[in-house]
Amino acid sequence: MTLDVTAQDTICALATPAGLSAIAIVRMSGPQTRHIHDTIFQPIHTQNQRPHVATLGTIIEDDFEFDQCISIFFPAGQSYTAEDSVEYHVHGNPLIIQRVLGLLCKHGARPAEAGEFTFRAVKHGRLSIPQAEGVYHLIHAKSDTIHAQALRQLHGLSETRLTQARQGVVDILAELEARLDFPDEPIGRADQKRIVSQLTQMALKLKQVSSSADLNERLLCGFRVVLYGPPNAGKSTLLNMLSQTERAIVHHQPGTTRDRLDVEMTLEGHLITLIDVAGIREGQDISEVEQIGIERAKQALEEADMILACEPADQPQGEHPARRLPEPYLKKCFFVSTKTDLGEAQHALSCRHDAPEELTTIRKHIIKQLEAAKDQDGDMLLVTQREQVKSAYESIERAQAALSTDMPSEIICSELRQAGHALDKLLGHDLSADVIETIFTRFCIGK
Ligand SMILES: Nc1nc2c(ncn2[C@@H]2O[C@H](COP(=O)(O)OP(=O)(O)O)[C@@H](O)[C@H]2O)c(=O)[nH]1
Ligand SMILES: [Mg+2]
């Protein structure tokens, strides 16, 4: 589906889940809303429905009553989409819902595409893209962390670093362009040293947002913890204990786990995905199926945010397969002694399948790693359009290089404009208008 940026028509959709419910909400938005609403809705206690006020009435056509319901009318400029909009709180019978939607369409509305109400809110400047993504995550959040972030984002609180960087772009562009465009005005020379330091700050802010976005996306999908080790180390047992489920098959026969198993759980409000995989071993007697399982286990490491390397206390302490992993993986490893009731524990983290306090230690450790991995100042940003942020900081870095090598101002301005446009795509502002305004207010050009 592609949403039509130029769409001027009126859309309608069910805003609540399909199926039976006490109340269902049908929404409509667009220029024909007022007309369609006046045609099909008759208030019961009043002649004139007031905006934003829940009003009891009937949905009626040709004397046929569809439902008695509440409607709320939001005039253009004061609605979610910025267009005339209305909500009908009808009785939640699919038959009624279909009839109401059918009636709206008969009078000129059309069924909305998925996400189209929020898309219109962005198109009309009511929401920035990060705010719209906040709305998405508010609906889809599976953990307290993401829920809290979604709200911050909806309120626009997570855009600080982006808006600060953009403001920097506007200010510097105004300074440089004022001198280019109005050479006869007595503006003086630009303070090159200050601009370089400003650019450094801006590039840093954007780099932080861009690099944190990767990890934040991980937090969104669940911080991934892979249980890794030899067969029969108690990995599947540990997964069941941590997730308090019986999802993984546990058996004394080595090689029981073959397919990868992902189990989602929340830990102190964070979404965690525990990943159980086949045990790693080498030898002639490995079947083809077991070998495929081992390969999948190794592949799972590529996605791991943390590797719980399980080292069984009851097996001869040879070299643990995790110790042979390349450095980037090794850094993510935490060695846990498992089956500690059967032998000497080797590591600070240990686990016996019936020892809750040891499991608590492991849980705390996972949280510690997750907290350490999060964006340090906590100002995470959940955006799918990360390439805009990346492209903005790359342009700023090029502008900085151009300035340091005394390139003409035109080149620096062109890079800054690219950075500004990339940020505008996210934040929905108008760079040119802001630069012109800044030039005229700051430098009093033309007086
Ligand atoms: N005594 C003891 N046995 C355990 C412990 N953890 C797991 N086991 C047993 O070890 C065997 C292998 O466990 P499993 O979780 O399937 O190991 P995996 O191959 O690493 O997934 C099973 O018979 C488990 O019951 C433990 O802490 N103590
Ligand atoms: Mg297993």
Q: Do 369 and 230 fall into the same domain?
A: yes
What is the model's pTM? 0.75
Q: Give domain status of residue 153, yes or no.
A: no
In a domain, 211, yes or no: no
> Residues 225, 361: one domain?
yes
pLDDT of residue 15: 97
Return d(Cα 172, Cα 164) in angstroms, integer.
12
Looking at per-residue confidence, does 390 or 28 come out higher? Answer: 28
Does the residue 69 lie in any domain? yes
Q: Which residues line ligand 1 (CB under 6 A)?
A: 231-237, 250-252, 256-257, 279, 338-339, 341-342, 352-353
Q: How far is the CA of 233 from the centre of ligand 2 (A)?
A: 8
**Closest among 195, 133, 152, 173 to 389, alpha carbons compared:** 133
Q: With 60 as the cut, is the pLDDT of residue 93 above it?
A: yes
pLDDT above 70 covers a percentage of the chain that reads: 95
Q: Which domain holds residue 92?
A: 11-125
Does 164 fall in a domain?
no
- Express as a percent the part of the chain with pLDDT over 90: 57
pLDDT of residue 5: 66
pLDDT at 380: 64
What pLDDT is attached to residue 215? Answer: 67
Dump pLDDT digits (tens) for 150-204. 898 899 877 888 899 999 999 999 999 988 888 877 777 778 889 999 999 999 8
| Cβ–Cβ under 8 Å, residues 376 and 386 | no
CA of 324 to the centre of ligand 2 (A): 20
Inside any domain, residue 397? no
- Amino acid in the structure at residue 330: L
Q: Which of 125, 142, 168 is the last residue of a domain?
A: 125
Per-position b or e across 387-398, b if 16+ CB within 10 A of its CB: ebbbbbbbbbbb
Please identify which residue in the block is written with the tokens 């110790």.
Answer: 323
- Mean residue pLDDT of the chain comes to 89
In terms of DSSP bridges, do strands 11-14 and 110-111 run parallel, antiparallel, or are they unpaired?
parallel
In a domain, 291, yes or no: yes
Residue 443 or residue 130, greater confidence: 130
Averaged pLDDT for residues 104-132: 93
Per-residue DSSP letter, 182: -
Q: Which of 7-16, 189-198, 212-221 is modeled with the greatest confidence?
A: 7-16
pLDDT of residue 214: 67
Domain final residue pick, 125, 150, 166: 125
- Count CA atoms within 13 Å of residue 204 on its CB side: 6
Does the pLDDT at position 379 exceed 70?
Answer: no
Model pLDDT, residue 447: 55
Model confidence over 259-297: pLDDT tens digits? 999 999 999 888 999 999 999 998 888 899 999 999 999
* 131: in domain: no
CATH number at residue 234: 3.40.50.300
Domain boundary residue, one of 76, 108, 125 = 125
Nearest 5°: phi and psi at 267? -135, 115
**CA 426, 428, 431, 437 torsion-angle sign:** negative
Taken in order 164, 165, 166, 170, the sign of the CA dihedral is positive
Look at residue 71 in the predicted model and tell me its pLDDT.
98
pLDDT value of residue 415: 96
Q: Which two tokens stand for residue 132?
A: 């719209």
* Mutation choice for ligand 1 from 250, 256, 336, 349, CB with most ligand atoms inside 8 A: 250
DSSP 185: S
Mean pLDDT of 103-129: 94
- Which range in 61-65, 124-128, 217-221, 225-229 is most confidently predicted, on average pLDDT? 225-229
* In-domain check, residue 294: yes
Ligand 1, atom 2: nearest CA belongs to which residue?
339
Tell which one of 226, 235, 237, 359 to mutate to probe ligand 1, the residue whose CB is within 8 A of the most ligand atoms. Answer: 237
CA distance 414 to 391: 13
In terms of domains, do 117 and 250 share one?
A: no
The count of other CB atoms within 10 Å of the CB of residue 262 is 15
Look at 416 and 4; give whichever has higher pLDDT.
Answer: 416
Q: What's the CA-to-centroid distance between 354 and ligand 1, angstroms?
A: 11
* Residue 129 pLDDT class (50, 70, 90 cuts): confident
Output the CA–CA distances (angstroms, integers) from residue 366 to 14, 152, 241, 268, 371, in the order listed: 41, 25, 14, 11, 9
Domain containing residue 108: CATH number: 3.30.1360.120
Which residues hold their Cβ within 5 A of ligand 2, which is an ion? 235-236, 257
- The answer to whether the Cα torsion of 184, 187, 188, 193 is positive or negative is negative
Question: What's the total number of domains in the chain?
Answer: 2
Which residue, chain included where needed, has tokens 């200010």? 171
Shared domain for 105 and 235, answered yes or no, is: no
State yes or no: pLDDT of 367 exceeds 80. yes
